[in-house]
Amino acid sequence: MDRMTDIILEAHKLAKTYIVGDRSIPILDEVSLTIAAGQFVVIAGSSGSGKTTLLTLLSGLDRPSSGRVIMAGQDITDLSEDGLARLRNEQIGFVFQGFHLVPSLNALENVMFPAELKKDQLAGEKAAKLLQRVGLWERRQHFPEQLSGGEKQRVAICRALINGPKIVFADEPTGNLDSKNSSAIIDLLAELHREQGATLVLATHSAGIADRAQRIIRLRDGRLLNEEGM
């Protein structure tokens, strides 16, 4: 396969600096990388390495201080907030450490929510299939406070996938889970990645999770340290 036509995500000299009072605090220092469509990529590093910042910049959740982000051939760096919101809803899925479910919506409604924003008439049908796929159909009427941590994260994964995204970003998706649930969630993400063919970009400090990926991008102190894999 021609890798030049295979690239779905590019970062060109991405940098992020925060200004606190009269201090300038660099978080990310000119990171450049490319990610191929369909890959399972882990961004690895210890706390404070810049991996979450890199993930938020790649996904358009935050804007870089300098540098560019190209997604599926489109420069998203200077998109308007409306343009970014549309991009995130139509092409990107997110799985967060803290789940970010809507407390007033039950499991089925939480999964349906992104599809309903698109006015997808099949939102209910798609959500039902996803919940059945992850073994939560019997819990569809339960609200987040009635679900375990592992169940909440499975609902969050379904929500991330309902619009058939090209890329799924996951930020420490097992950070609030015990070891048994952590393993089950990574198994599920890996299975769904293979089944749906979406690119999976996952930030983690866990060596065990990183070993599951096709590629590992390692950061230290906001800089690209090295890469492993294809």
Predicted pLDDT of residue 3? 44
Cα 221 to Cα 206: distance, rounded to the nearest angstrom: 17
Predicted pLDDT of residue 228? 60
Task: State the total domains in the chain.
Answer: 1
Predicted pLDDT of residue 227? 66
Beta bridge partners of 15: 66
Neighbours of 13 (CB within 10 A): 12
Range of the domain at 153: 3-229
Neighbours of 148 (CB within 10 A): 12
Given a contact cutoff of 8 angstroms between Cβ atoms, the answer to whether 149 and 115 are in contact is no
pTM reported for the whole predicted model: 0.89
To 10 degrees, the CA torsion angle through 41, 47, 49, 52? 50
- Among residues 214, 203, 207, the alpha carbon closest in space to that of 170 is found at 203
Given a contact cutoff of 8 angstroms between Cβ atoms, the answer to whether 212 and 20 are in contact is no
Task: Give pLDDT tens digits along the chain (230 positions).
Answer: 344 458 999 999 999 999 898 998 999 999 999 999 999 999 998 888 999 999 999 999 999 999 999 999 999 999 999 999 889 888 999 998 888 999 999 999 999 999 999 899 999 999 999 999 999 999 999 999 999 999 999 999 999 999 999 999 999 988 888 888 888 889 888 888 888 889 999 999 888 889 889 999 999 999 998 766 54
- Please list the alpha-helical segments (H only) found in the chain: 51-58, 81-91, 107-117, 123-133, 149-161, 179-196, 207-210
Predicted pLDDT of residue 229? 54
To 10 degrees, the CA torsion angle through 174, 180, 183, 184? -100
**Amino acid at position 90, single letter:** E
Residue 209 sits in a domain whose CATH number is: 3.40.50.300
Helical pair 149-161 and 123-133, crossing angle rounded to 10 deg: 140
